[in-house]
Amino acid sequence: MTRLTLQPGNTSLEQLEQLYRSGAPAVLDDSARAGVDAAADQVAHAVQGTEAVYGVNTGFGKLASVKIQPHDTETLQRNLILSHCSGVGDAIPTAIARLMMALKLLSLGRGASGVRWLVIEQIQDMLAKGVTPVVPAQGSVGASGDLAPLAHMAAAMLGEGHAELNGATLPAGEALSKAGLKPIVLGAKEGLALINGTQFSTAFALAGYFEAQRNAEAAIVASALSTDAVMGSTAPLQPEIHALRGHRGQIDVAAAIRDLMQGSEIRESHRDGDTRVQDPY
């Protein structure tokens, strides 16, 4: 299966649809590494400093004024993830979960989240090995991010929760082990970076778009076949008619149906001598 190389800020819908439909593994372009490493170095410096930096050496929400000591950093990030694993309902489709992971790669790869490269490698390796976090369909989404769904994704990276591997749902730690991977330990800010984002809702929006696009294409083919089957006229598809309305979608659909009917023997069989003024509607 062809591996997709994604470039943050320059990834096409076509690439994302290929990943969604084929289940292809994805990796970030090497050009993203320098920015990611630089941001991680800044976070590491902040951990050792005296200045309060939210989510790095402080608590969260109402606990933002609570100072976190460097030796508690890993525990803070782990607790953040596990405390937000509160989703309910059936698991989302595997294709959408993998798309969510790829979108998170693109977000982290911009070099503004402060995560270490090993966090990105864990997502890439899970995509490559077919380890897909089990993410409940219902959970908090919105302003601060898709917190609960993304927490379930991140938990699997830590070996917590559940993950799918080869069609079977397993404890995440077991799935990672069977795939030859190990759980990671999150450093400063990394838990926050993983759950602050809208990759869950964006993945669903993209999947909806991809399916709507495919359904629209199928409807165009069905329209052309139906028109031909009833020996309908192509006169209503003339470009001049649709140019008057000025709707881009209408113009494109009419052109697509015209192209599909071009050269139809059925259409040619009744082009001349047809006494109908126009098709009934």
Domains for the chain: give ranges and CATH numbers: 4-206 (1.10.275.10), 230-269 (no CATH)
**Which positions ≥6 away from 155 have C-beta within 8 Å?**
81, 82, 85, 133, 161, 172
DSSP single-letter state for residue 158? T
- pLDDT confidence bin for 124, thresholds 50/70/90: very high
Averaged confidence pLDDT in the chain: 94
pLDDT (0 to 100) of residue 163: 99
Contact 124, 174 (CB under 8 A): no
Given the structure tokens 């790095």, which residue do they identify? 56
Helix residue ranges per DSSP H, 109-159 = 117-129, 147-157
**Percent of the chain scored above 70 by pLDDT?**
99
Q: pLDDT at residue 280 above 80?
A: no
Q: Where are the beta strands (DSSP E) in 88-135?
A: 88-91, 132-133
**Which band of pLDDT confidence, cut at 50, 70 and 90, is reported for residue 50?**
confident
Output the pLDDT for position 118.
98
Residue 222 scores a pLDDT above 90: yes
Structure-token pair, residue 48:
């050792």
Average pLDDT in the 62-86 region? 93
Active site residues: 54
Q: What is the pLDDT of residue 139?
A: 87
Are the C-beta atoms of 27 and 49 separated by less than 8 Å?
no
Q: How confident is the model at residue 153 (pLDDT cuts 50, 70, 90)?
A: very high
Q: Which band of pLDDT confidence, cut at 50, 70 and 90, is reported for residue 49? A: confident
Mean local confidence (pLDDT), 30-41: 97
Instruction: Compute the average pLDDT of residues 49-75.
Output: 90
- Cα 266 from Cα 245, distance rounded (Å): 29
CA angle in degrees (0–180, nearest 5) for 64-69-74 = 90
